[in-house]
Amino acid sequence: MSESLAEPHISAEDFRHVFRAHPAGVAVVTADVGDGPVAMTVSSVASLSIHPPTLVFSASAMSSSTPTIKRAETVIVHLLSVDQIDLAKVGARSGVNRFGDDVHWSRLLTGEPYYPSADWLRRRVTQRVEVNGATLIIAEAIEASERHDSAVADPTPLVYHNRRWHALSNRSALGEPGPAFWVVYGRDD
């Protein structure tokens, strides 16, 4: 049994094939360490903890934004809805100006670049973990975009699946809502 754990038995293409069946939410991460703003689209955002509110995402070494994001003390993580698909595409393309005159962006009072049309979390980076050519960025929440009491308060999430963008809607829901995840895991918060 230890022999099977020591040697990988699947190819990179097989690994990609399996993950193409795994849908993921879409986010754009922005930062600026003084060299100009950067942005990257990620589908690897995951919640780690609620106390303190902590998330993780992966920054690929292939992205031109990764060196800046790795050096940043704070980042802005934008959780995208279908209304922000253009932001997702801009952050995913190489060689485009992600902060040009044709892109609606601004800076927070603390200096970080952000996209006001998306829900966002300002995060303080607490750890960076190098893993096989990627960097896991672990960050705690220190600020969030304002909650809205409008029809947009329940946006349609943008999802990436099998190399295509998708809208996750109520039509895709299976059955009735279940208990909150913290109840399932024995927490009362």
Centre a 10 Å sphere on the Cβ of residue 85 and count the other Cβ atoms it contains.
14
pLDDT score at 164:
86
Residue 139 lies in a domain: yes
pLDDT score at 8:
63
What pTM did the predictor assign? 0.85
Quick one: DSSP state of residue 81? B
pLDDT score at 109:
96
pLDDT score at 1:
45
What is the total count of domains within the chain? Answer: 1
pLDDT score at 57:
96
The Cα–Cα gap between 132 and 189 comes to 35
CATH number at residue 32: 2.30.110.10
pLDDT score at 21:
84
pLDDT score at 181:
57
Per-residue confidence of the chain (189 residues) as pLDDT tens digits? 445 566 668 888 888 888 888 888 999 999 999 999 999 999 999 999 989 999 999 999 999 999 999 999 999 999 999 999 999 999 998 888 899 899 999 999 999 999 999 999 999 999 999 999 899 999 999 999 987 654 456 788 898 888 888 888 777 777 777 776 555 555 555
The Cα–Cα gap between 39 and 114 comes to 9
Q: Which domain holds residue 72?
A: 23-184
Residue 4 lies in a domain: no
Residue 173 lies in a domain: yes
The Cα–Cα gap between 124 and 42 comes to 18
Residue 2 lies in a domain: no
Structure tokens, 109: 């009072």
In DSSP terms, which residues pair with 58 in a beta bridge?
Answer: 136
Residue 70 lies in a domain: yes
Residue 13 lies in a domain: no
Is residue 49 packed enough to be buried (19+ CB in 10 Å), middle (13-18) or exposed (0-12)? exposed
Residue 27 lies in a domain: yes
Classify each residue of 133-148 as buried b or exposed e, where b means 16 or more C-beta atoms within 10 Å of its C-beta: ebbebbbbeeeebeee
Find the radius of gyration of the CA atoms of the chain.
18
Residue 170 lies in a domain: yes
